Amino acid sequence: MEKSAAESFKMFDLRPFAMLSHFGLKNPIFLETAAYGHVGREPFTKKVKFYTNGNVNGAQAYEKEVEFFGMEKLDYDG
């Protein structure tokens, strides 16, 4: 087990900052979904600013229209 863990650490950078940067977790898309869960929420779209390196400091921004809670449409029975 120790050998496979060591190999994993070589393949993946698991430091917090590295994970935040790799997955873009500081981008504002997560603010809408961070509270009150997702079950039963109404789907909506919104223009959101994204930053190339995940934060506003020295990053180039671009806007994109994002659909939030789109999976809720699959549960709609109407």
Is the pTM higher than 0.85? The answer reads: no
Contact 38, 72 (CB under 8 A): yes
Q: Which residue has the higher pLDDT, 3 or 1?
A: 3
pLDDT in tens, 45-75: 989 887 766 555 666 788 889 888 777 666 6
Give the H/E segment covering residue 22.
helix 16-23
Q: Is the pLDDT of residue 27 over 80?
A: no
Q: Is the pLDDT of residue 40 over 60?
A: yes
pLDDT in tens, 67-77: 887 776 666 56
